[in-house]
Amino acid sequence: MYRTHNCGELRAENIGQKVTLSAWVQTIRDKGNITWIDLRDRYGITQVVAEHGVVSDAVIADIKKLGREFVVQIEGEIIERHSKNPEMLTGDIELKAEKITLLNASKTPPFTIEDETDGGEEIRAKYRYLDLRRNPVKEKLQLRHKVSLETRKYLDTVDFMEVETPYLIKSTPEGARDFVVPSRMNPGEFYALPQSPQTFKQLLMVSGYDRYYQIVKCFRDEDLRADRQPEFTQIDCEMAFVEQEDVLNTFEGLIKHLFETCRDHKFEGNFPRMTYAEALEKYGSDKPDIRFGMEFCNMTDIVKGQGFGIFDEAETVLAINAEQCAVYTRKQIDKVTDWVKRPQVGAKGMIYMRVNEDGTFKSSVDKFYDQTQLAKWAEATNAKPGDLILLLSGDDLKVRSQMNDLRLHMGDELGLRNPNVFAPLWVLDFPLLEWDEDTARYHAMHHPFTSPKPEDMHLIDTEPGKVRANAYDLAMNGVELGGGSIRIHNKELQARMFELLGFSDEEAKAQFGFLMNAFEYGAPPHGGLAFGFDRLVATMGGSDSIRDYIAFPKNNSGRDVMIDSPAPLAADQLNELSLDVKKTEKPA
């Protein structure tokens, strides 16, 4: 037996016991004729002590051979610690070493295995198995484990059944690019890896499975942005015989359960709700961070006609009120202006107005606007002495997106985005379709199976872009945790939808024939939702980055630098798959 206890469980009541620990050497410290070793495992740290003259010479000799990250087995007696450490759960005791067995040596790690490491991102990615030893990383994966288990427990109590859907499915040109898998047994043919189990979960509703869920890997071959991974995990759910209200209530229950059990956080009352239109109007985002106010104020009508060309020519002028920021210096304001002009935000400039303590105004466009004019700005933005008003202008859609970026940036600057405050928000009534300029046709905003709102059906032939969908997202802290919709369960409506999306009959049949057929055999009304599991856990952990919450993530080129993948195939493997690789340049 390698150990009687782990390094996190020994307490004062164990004093006098003979125990055996097996674990890693975190540190070795000498002081006078005493040596201490911090022994570390998944469960904690236990201090080992060896006093020259008290323990045998063999033990002293064995200790001399040890170094950081060595794996050792240490037998001995639990004794009371001289200077107790109330910060540590095991801080009342230490292990008096009586026998030391080296289980495995270690080279010096390429970075320190400490909460604050000296290792950069690249080296930690290459030696991910060592980075995973660090407490902050381990705690993130433990949270992930807990959230996953509590999700299953909760959904089981409300009659959801986990059903595994296939990974080797069929490629569909709709949406993001599929990863594909050549079939050796069917030369020239390919499977695709699922972007989501969407059609399968709808088939399970047709099958009468009523309440389905799955925590499942999904795959998207997109050009990777900072916080995207080619493979990611979803909590995928679907329910039959439900309306939108049933779905929202069910999954609000799940999220509350997860925060209570995994974060010891209780939400009061129901999650607030907002329509998509209102979210865009107030926050320029379909996933607003409502931990703070700073709502948009539409200034277009107020600012026009005073000879300031930029505003006069703009489709929309928006303002936000950064309360009590009039103290910002010119230099600080210039820094904010530079920030909004970065290519990632793309604003051409920023106008500001300070409300001085004496109630007068100072703006960057005093040439065009006098104090009376500026008083109207203050009134519109509800500005008080000491406040700072920031304005952006331009095309409506663009300026909303830029102002959203600016608002979040100011929220960060002013410390209004505390990662331990959680502000959920249901965003409702998404548009059914969005117009795509490139292909000059409509795309499904959510996906082609989302149902239109019955009250908007009269617009479907004349103004399809104005039709709202029975679609909803759960946002939290400016992040989309998940989203879903009530689906179409009627074959004719589904066919009409494919038509709106520019599918020919043949295309629709070739790709989704099985689903449309299934709708002919008693499909129940149904709807569902999927949470981005990586993002949910990251948000619960108070982090922006999903990568930290994935045990073995890929980098921004989709590479796993630890195992060095992807990699070329051997010629005979390609032959077996009936494939040739074309000589091409790597895309820039």
Q: Tell me the HSE value of 240 on the side-chain side, using a 13 A CA sphere.
A: 17
For a copy of itself, the closer CB: 132 or 459: 132
| 305: Cβ contacts below 8 Å, ≥ 6 apart | 312
Strands 180-182 vs 433-436: parallel, antiparallel or unpaired: unpaired
The CB-of-178 to a copy of itself minimum distance in angstroms stands at 8
- Token pair 């300029």 is at which residue? 437
- Token pair 């309440």 is at which residue? 211
For residues 32 and 49, give the distance between their C-alpha atoms in angstroms, rounded to a whole number: 13
For a copy of itself, the closer CB: 58 or 510: 510
For residues 242 and 247, give the distance between their C-alpha atoms in angstroms, rounded to a whole number: 7
The token duo for 302 is: 């107020």
The CB-of-16 to a copy of itself minimum distance in angstroms stands at 24
Does an H or E element contain 202, and which?
Answer: helix 198-206
For residues 504 and 577, give the distance between their C-alpha atoms in angstroms, rounded to a whole number: 32
For a copy of itself, the closer CB: 396 or 507: 507
For a copy of itself, the closer CB: 160 or 472: 160
- Token pair 């390094």 is at which residue? 7
For residues 3 and 20, give the distance between their C-alpha atoms in angstroms, rounded to a whole number: 5
Backbone angles phi, psi at 64, to 5 degrees: -60, -25
Sign of CA dihedral 12, 18, 23, 27: positive
- The DSSP secondary-structure symbol of 450 reads B
For a copy of itself, the closer CB: 73 or 300: 73
- The DSSP secondary-structure symbol of 55 reads B
Strands 18-31 vs 71-80: parallel, antiparallel or unpaired: antiparallel
Is 489 annotated for ligand binding? no
The CB-of-169 to a copy of itself minimum distance in angstroms stands at 6
The CB-of-550 to a copy of itself minimum distance in angstroms stands at 7
Three-point CA angle 392, 397, 398, nearest 5°:
50
The CB-of-433 to a copy of itself minimum distance in angstroms stands at 24
For residues 553 and 329, give the distance between their C-alpha atoms in angstroms, rounded to a whole number: 42
Question: What beta strand segments (E) does 220-334 contain?
Answer: 231-240, 273-275, 297-298, 316-322
For residues 194 and 171, give the distance between their C-alpha atoms in angstroms, rounded to a whole number: 8
β partners of residue 192: 169, 180
- The DSSP secondary-structure symbol of 509 reads H
Is 480 annotated for ligand binding? yes
Is 220 annotated for ligand binding? yes
For a copy of itself, the closer CB: 383 or 523: 523
For a copy of itself, the closer CB: 199 or 381: 199
The CB-of-435 to a copy of itself minimum distance in angstroms stands at 23
Q: Is 246 helix (H, G, I), strand (E, B) or coil?
A: helix
Cβ count within 10 A of residue 265: 14
For 70, counting Cβ atoms within 10 Å of its Cβ (0-12 exposed, 13-18 middle, 19+ buried), the class is middle
For a copy of itself, the closer CB: 219 or 377: 219
The CB-of-353 to a copy of itself minimum distance in angstroms stands at 46
Is 174 annotated for ligand binding? yes
Alpha-carbon distance values, 465 to 134, 177, 287, 441, 484 (Å): 51, 24, 21, 11, 19
Is 535 annotated for ligand binding? yes
The CB-of-549 to a copy of itself minimum distance in angstroms stands at 10
Is 229 annotated for ligand binding? yes
Is 533 annotated for ligand binding? yes
The CB-of-403 to a copy of itself minimum distance in angstroms stands at 33
The CB-of-256 to a copy of itself minimum distance in angstroms stands at 21
Is 267 annotated for ligand binding? no
For a copy of itself, the closer CB: 258 or 350: 258
Residues contributing to the annotated binding site for L-aspartate: 174, 220, 446, 487
Binding residues: 174, 220-222, 229, 446, 480, 487, 532-535
Residue ranges for the known binding site for ATP are: 220-222, 229, 480, 532-535
